[in-house]
Structure 1
Amino acid sequence: MTHGRRAFLASCMASAALLMSPVTQAEEQYPKKTVSLVVPFAPGGSTDILGRMIAQHYFKDSGVTTIVENTPGAGGNIGAAKVARSKPDGYTLEIGAMSTHAMNGSLYTSLAFDPMKEFVPVAMLAQAINVIAVKPSFPAQNFDELIKHVRANPGKVNYSSGGIGTHNHLTLALLEEKAGLEMVHVPYKGGGPAVTALLQGEVDMFAGGASLLLRHAEAGNVRLIAVTEATPSDLVPGVPSASEVASDFVVTNWYGVFGPKGMDPALVETINAEINRIVALPEVAQRLKGMGMIPLPIKPGELAKMLQQDYDLWSKTITSLNIANN
């Protein structure tokens, strides 16, 4: 090899190294300063608990602090907007929910950001098992009987929710649409009061997270009729999937980590691997189980696909039901 050719190749290699070095350095150095996990809801809820679990273990060996920043308001939109406006460097991330990204874009008419286009799906935290529960005196003993009873009594069966447009509301509104039912929606100010209404017999039915209902079911104060996922869950043994009767009625609820658009794909992969490591830790998996959730470690592309499917479902449902908030 001639001296000139060796010099040319050396120059090319040096140039390639310079082009690659920023990504390499980003992977090697992240995190080098405090990471903020923005929870767009008030302290104490499921999203907040998940954020604090992640913060406790997030790149622990780096010695860098990870903080949880609660920024509640407007159904999660205020906190989400803060993340959308942040630098795409991985130091400001959102602990989001399926509702904040798959539902809110259609539910809120005056958002200052696009929950689908202005974020990068980074990692899945957990899937929350969703159940349909009825009061003990409700005549139906299973989901098939429930459908038949509601059909035979149009406008006479009611259900509670945490408010108009909440996951509780939209789950049973979707069931009405898919199964051709007519029920009465009774909105309350939050999931807790909605469950209390069911316990006190003020309403017939409620759909929500297993964590809200398991202990009441074990005490005999409510009856779990079905899970809304495509398959039954070991977390609620003996409770079948509603899809066994209504094949096109499947509702999931999940929590994930999102970053602002423009994040380096290599950095997204690095954070994804760390989140997947954390949710697989035995103590974290056990805590999730106690919350009625299961770990679901998947790649960013798989989360993006799930998000798109849910967005398509709920945008169509919300539009057809003519539900919207300002």
Structure 2
Amino acid sequence: MKKLPRIYKPLIAACTAMATMLAAPAVSAQTDYPNKPVSLVVPFAPGGSTDIFGRLIAQHYFKDKGANAIVENVPGAGGNIGAARVARAAPDGHTLEIGAMSTHAMNGSLYTSLNFGPMEDFVPIAMLAQAINVIAVKPSFPAQTFQELIEYVRAHPGEVNYSSGGIGTHNHLTLALLEERAGLEMVHIPYKGGGPAVTALLQGEVDMFAGGASLLLRHAEPGNVRLIAVTESTPSELVPGVPSASDIVPDFVVTNWYGVFGPKGMDPELVKAINAEINRIVALPDVAERLSGMGMVPNPVSPEKLAEILDQDHQLWSKTIESLDISNH
């Protein structure tokens, strides 16, 4: 092969430099992010757990870069309206969803007429925290332990009832799954929201409720409800002395978590950068303390691990929803 004339060497060097310059925006885009206000879309009404998460994140989000993060509440249809807005956004990281596992792992099976894919149209970015899920009974309920609860319900089919925040909510599906896995028969009484469902338990209108520790801890301390089991695979320090339901029903494990999602097509490097920032924020002492008071446990994971967790939950709930023939629309 002939050597190139010396005159071509500066030209080759110039072309190489140009190629480097053309490739640079992909890197500088990460360096410059965020370069405009970031919209943190909360697909639920103000005041709930996702809203609190959104405002905690907004306070700290890339503040070293002078970022301006704004929480936007876009409630409706079990989180679907807000989620759809994020799915249609540009994948540049400036529109993100502060969402829940239920919005993505459950809603695709619960709502049959969605114009977006809760699983397909998003990239999981970061887990905010895992919510400790507790099964509670009214103080006068005969069973004192989860083992006794199972035995009592089996001995009284169709006589024990439970409340939920509505058909297809996490409260409902948790105990519907318990019925299926433990061979029980109970009566489901849906209410319009988790608050009214807990009130029904406090007033003795229903026997049982399954929900976040944040909803139940303050009522358990004065003895207005009795916490009988957590639905995670292991007990939690947030509810000391309360065993895991899986000790009695091994194939019954239910988790609930909150996370950050973006529209599909986001640059993987940008996803990693946002993941690192979210993990940094939830580890801040004041944020961690606030989460603990909400019955939440920080659980920082990589985007890849979060995608794996989401897929497992989606498989569980899509099969459960189909087998129970539950649908909202």
Give 3-state SS (helix, strand or coil) of 1:257's partner: strand
Q: CA deviation at 1:87?
A: 0.3
Q: Which aligned pairs between 1:119-138 and structure 2 lie closer than 5 A?
A: 119-138=122-141
2:36 is matched with 33
The structure 2 residue matched to 1:321, chosen from 312, 319, 324, is 324
Matched, 1:197 2:214: no
Question: How far is 1:62 from its partner?
Answer: 1.5
Q: Residue deviations 1:99-145, cap 9 Å, x none? A: 10000000001001000000010111010000000011111111111
1:286 lines up with 2:280 in the alignment: no
Q: Does 1:109 align with 2:112?
A: yes
CA drift of 1:14 comes to 2.1
The alignment partner of 1:36 has SS state of: strand
Q: Are positions 1:183 and 2:189 aligned together?
A: no
SS in structure 1 of the partner of residue 288 of structure 2: helix
Please name the residue that 1:216 is paired with.
219
Residue of structure 1 in register with 2:91 after alignment: 88
SS at match of 2:135: strand
Query: Cα offset for 1:16?
Result: 4.4
Q: Supply the AA of the counterpart residue of 1:178.
A: R
Pairwise CA distance, 1:7? 4.3
The 1-side partners of 2:30 and 2:71 are apart by 23
1:15 and 1:269 map into 2 onto residues whose CA distance is 28
Q: Deviations over 1:150-185 (max 9, x none)?
A: 111100000000010000000000000001100000
Please tell me the residue identity of whatever aligns with 1:95: I
1:20 shift after superposition: 2.9
Give the CA deviation at 1:8. Answer: 7.0
CA distance in 1, matches of 2:269, 2:13: 26
Gaps of 5+ in 2: none
The one-letter amino acid paired with 2:284 is L
**AA in 1 matched with 2:55:** R
1:27 maps to amino acid: Q
SS at match of 1:122: strand
1:21 Cα deviation after fit: 0.8
> What's the offset of the Cα at 1:5?
7.9
> Are residues 1:301 and 2:310 paired?
no
Residue 18 of structure 1 deviates from its aligned partner by 3.0
- 1:32 to partner: Cα distance: 1.2
Two-structure CA RMSD over aligned residues (Å): 1.4
Change (3 A) 1:8 1:305: farther
Alignment deviations for residues 301-323 of structure 1 (CA, whole Å, 9 cap, x no partner): 00000000000000000000101
Q: State the AA in 2 paired with 1:263.
A: M
TM-score by length of 2: 0.96
* Distance (whole Å) between structure 1 residues aligned to residue 289 and residue 7 of structure 2: 63
How far does residue 23 in structure 1 lie from its aligned partner after superposition?
1.4
Where do 4+ consecutive residues of structure 1 move more than 6 Å?
none
CA gap of 1:312–1:8, structure 2 versus 1, over 3 A, is farther
**Code of the aligned partner of 1:98:** M
1:228 counterpart letter in structure 2: T
What is the aligned length? Answer: 326
